[in-house]
Structure 1
Amino acid sequence: MTDSEIELRLRRSRQLATLLDGAWLIPGTSWRFGIDALLGLLPVAGDLLSALLGLGIIWQAHKLSAPRSLQLKMLGYIALDFLLGSVPVIGDIADVAFRKNIRNADLLETWVARRNKK
């Protein structure tokens, strides 16, 4: 895989993470939220759709041949957020505070950076 293909996959992951977790700023705060928080307002279906969209970042990790352990950790963040989302109010707060997609994009970028140092 070429450097430009790797960079494209990382950019797609970051864009998706930003859209899902940090597209808009809550006025008067430093807190950001995205489509994930809005979807979380829809009981069950919203959390399921949010989890499915978050799998896009794991797909990029898979295409970059990230280790299975990293992909499982990323999947764990999605699963945890899905479980938290099933709890009214707590799930809505978790969508804004936990930011699973930003975490997953960070994990992927860190793994690629470490791999490139070797």
Structure 2
Amino acid sequence: MPNSSPKFSYIDYNAQTVTIKRLRQLSRLLDTVITVPGTPIAIGLDPIIGFIPIGGDVLGLILSSYIVYEASRLGVPKKLLSRMIFNIIIDSLLGSFPIIGDLFDFAWTANHYNIKLLEKHLNGY
């Protein structure tokens, strides 16, 4: 009789690799997709869509939450998921303030931090 548990006792490393690659691409798109020519400064869509009143910050929150959702599917411990959620909350709350929040969004790359946390966990560190 097959195990009906939603958690698997094995890890499909091919699926894990594909998921990590997809999450890295999303993180890059949200945090660092555009490099300012001649500088090391990069910005992503998250601060840009943050300029859209109300809906932009909500959309950024939803896209960032997808990374946490996928991390939970990969079996990341609750403590690490909590840290990832905290990063998103900081990004969303402070990013929601007009002008100052948009500048904060350029500097605080919560998605990049969350990918680093995820990869560190999956690599056993």
Same structural fold, with TM-score higher than 0.5 when normalized by the shorter chain: yes
Other-structure match for 2:120: 110
Gap regions ≥5 residues in structure 1: none
Question: For residue 42 of structure 2, what is the amino acid of its counterpart?
Answer: R
Q: Which among 9, 22, 29 is matched to residue 39 of structure 2?
A: 29
Give the equivalent residue in structure 2 for 1:55: 65
Q: Deviations over 1:6-62 (max 9, x none)?
A: 111111110110010011101232111111011111122111110100011101101
| Unaligned segments of structure 2, at least 5 residues | 1-10
1:26 and 1:37 map into 2 onto residues whose CA distance is: 14
Q: 4+ residue runs of structure 1 moved beyond 6 angstroms?
A: none
Question: In 1, are the aligned partners of 2:51 and 2:102 still within 8 Å (CA)?
Answer: yes
When normalised by structure 1's length, the TM-score is 0.92
Higher percent of residues as helix: 1
Aligned residue identity for 2:82:
L
Separation in 2, partners of 1:84, 1:31: 20
Confirm or deny that 1:94 pairs with 2:104. yes
Question: Which amino acid letter does the alignment assign opposite residue 103 of structure 1?
Answer: Y
In the alignment, which residue of structure 2 is the partner of 1:2?
A: 12
**Percent same amino acid at aligned positions?**
36
